[in-house]
């Protein structure tokens, strides 16, 4: 078993109170956050940890932003951007970091992979796993509902990423780890059955653990994720909404090949029930743009040496499937 990453996981209401104990032996704490979180919770954090942290604002952070040399731990406190910067800073300084997510918007709350934007493109960078995750459900419940919806979408996308991972293992010999596979598979099943925030957060943490076990994002990221990166070229939308949107297309083919447990329509009906966007119009795209995104996604997959279920699908066939799946409201 390689379940050592991360070592401490607390998912509970008022979990933030536990930070006092977790940070007791540290003297110089860097807290990466945003202005709103600092305003809402800065005073509370100071009271809990008993000292003034050095605040680093994620929005203005650059690779060369100076930080106190005597810092001995980093706390990432906020949404995706704050946690990404905490990961980057941990990798840069070699310090441990603690993840304190304020929204359940994606599985990055527990992973070592940061999403980095360069020249308008977003890519994943392996950094450092959090040494602890403190998920305060009282805080996360206050996040905008759309963020939670995106988090649900990110977990639902595992229906495709997992199936494609096994397909890639059979077709191209991509390394597959059964422990990580079943961890993500259980996370997916839990979110399919239960829509509670606690279930979602635990699923996201398990997805992060799986990536940590494997040392890559492959268990949680397949062609549906590459399509989302392609979509971002022209339209910024929450990651989880985009990856979920691309999932039924991949599932259509994965199910045909006998690799997916769930078909495209199973997933689409659940997505509609949960309130996730499922039509081209809702995602501000068209069949032609969607096909162009698939082409770009295939290049991303090839570059990453990952097998794509859409590799040999002709445009005419894609167009037909896209119209069937995504045009009906």
User: Which residues are near Zn ion by CB under 5 A?
Assistant: 154
- In the complex with Zn ion, the residue whose CB is nearer, 28 or 274, is 274
Distance in Å, CB of 106 to Zn ion, minimum: 5
CB of 239 to Zn ion, least distance (A): 6
Is the Cβ–Cβ distance between 23 and 79 less than 8 Å?
A: no
Q: How many angstroms separate the CA atoms of 57 and 55, rounded?
A: 6
Contacts of 59 (CB under 8 A, 6+ apart): 34, 35, 81
Q: Which is nearer to Zn ion, 34 or 154 (CB)?
A: 154
CA angle 106, 2, 137 (to 5 degrees): 35
Please list, in sequence order, all residues whose beta carbon lies within 8 angstroms of the beta carbon of residue 242, skipping any fewer than 6 positions away.
Answer: 153, 227, 228, 231, 232, 283
- Residues facing 29 on adjacent strands: 73
CB of 172 to Zn ion, least distance (A): 22
Minimum distance between the CB of residue 276 and Zn ion, rounded to whole angstroms? Answer: 14
Residue closer to Zn ion, measured from CB, 157 or 278: 157
Provide the 10 A C-beta neighbour count for residue 111.
29
Q: Nearest distance from residue 243's CB to Zn ion, in Å? A: 5
Distances (CA, A) of 109 to 50, 68, 95, 175, 280: 25, 25, 18, 24, 29
* List of long-range contacts for 116-123, beta carbons under 8 Å, 24+ apart: 116/84, 116/88, 120/233, 121/229, 121/232, 121/233, 122/229, 122/232, 123/229
- Region label for 305, one of left (φ > 0), alpha (ψ between -120 and 50) or beta (otherwise): left
User: Cβ closer to Zn ion: 28 or 296?
Assistant: 296
> 154 or 206, CB closer to Zn ion?
154
* Residue placing its CB nearer to Zn ion in the complex, 30 or 250: 250
Q: Which is nearer to Zn ion, 102 or 124 (CB)?
A: 124
Q: Which residue is nearest to Zn ion (CB)?
A: 154
Closest separation in Å from C-beta 169 to Zn ion: 20
- d(Cα 263, Cα 248) in Å, to the nearest integer? 7
Q: How far is the CB of 22 from Zn ion (least distance, A)?
A: 27
Tell the smallest beta-carbon distance from residue 207 to Zn ion (Å): 8
Q: Which is nearer to Zn ion, 16 or 200 (CB)?
A: 200
> What sections of the chain are H helices per DSSP?
19-22, 35-49, 80-93, 137-140, 145-156, 158-172, 178-193, 197-214, 223-231, 239-256, 264-274, 287-303, 315-326
């Amino acid at each position: 078993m390689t379940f050592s990453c991360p070592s401490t996981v607390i998912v509970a209401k008022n979990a933030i109170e536990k930070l006092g104990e977790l940070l007791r032996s540290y003297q110089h704490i860097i807290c990466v956050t945003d202005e709103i979180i600092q305003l809402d919770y800065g005073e509370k954090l100071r009271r809990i940890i008993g000292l003034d942290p050095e605040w680093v604002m994620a929005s203005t952070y650059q690779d060369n932003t100076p930080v106190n040399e005597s810092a001995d731990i980093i706390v990432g406190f906020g949404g995706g951007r704050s946690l990404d910067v905490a990961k980057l800073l941990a990798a840069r300084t070699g310090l441990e970091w603690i993840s304190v997510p304020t929204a359940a918007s994606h599985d990055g709350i527990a992973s070592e992979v940061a999403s980095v934007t360069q020249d308008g493109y977003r890519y994943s960078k392996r950094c450092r796993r959090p040494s602890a995750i403190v998920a305060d459900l009282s805080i996360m419940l206050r996040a905008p509902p759309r963020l939670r919806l995106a988090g649900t979408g990110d977990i639902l996308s595992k229906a495709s990423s997992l199936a494609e991972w096994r397909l890639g293992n059979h077709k191209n010999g991509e390394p597959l780890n059964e422990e990580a596979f079943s961890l993500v598979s259980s996370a997916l099943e839990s979110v399919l059955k239960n829509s509670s925030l606690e279930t979602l957060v635990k699923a996201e943490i398990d997805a992060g653990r799986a990536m940590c076990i494997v040392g890559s994002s492959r268990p949680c990221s397949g062609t549906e994720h590459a399509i989302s990166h392609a979509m971002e070229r022209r339209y910024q939308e929450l990651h989880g909404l985009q990856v979920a949107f691309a999932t039924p297309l991949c599932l259509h083919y994965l199910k045909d090949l006998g690799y997916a447990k769930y078909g495209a329509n199973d997933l689409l009906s659940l997505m509609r029930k949960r309130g996730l966007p499922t039509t081209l119009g809702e995602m501000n795209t068209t069949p032609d743009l969607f096909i162009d995104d698939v082409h770009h996604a295939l290049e991303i997959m090839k570059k990453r040496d990952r097998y794509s279920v859409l590799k040999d699908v002709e445009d005419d066939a894609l167009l037909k499937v896209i119209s069937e799946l995504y045009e009906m409201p």
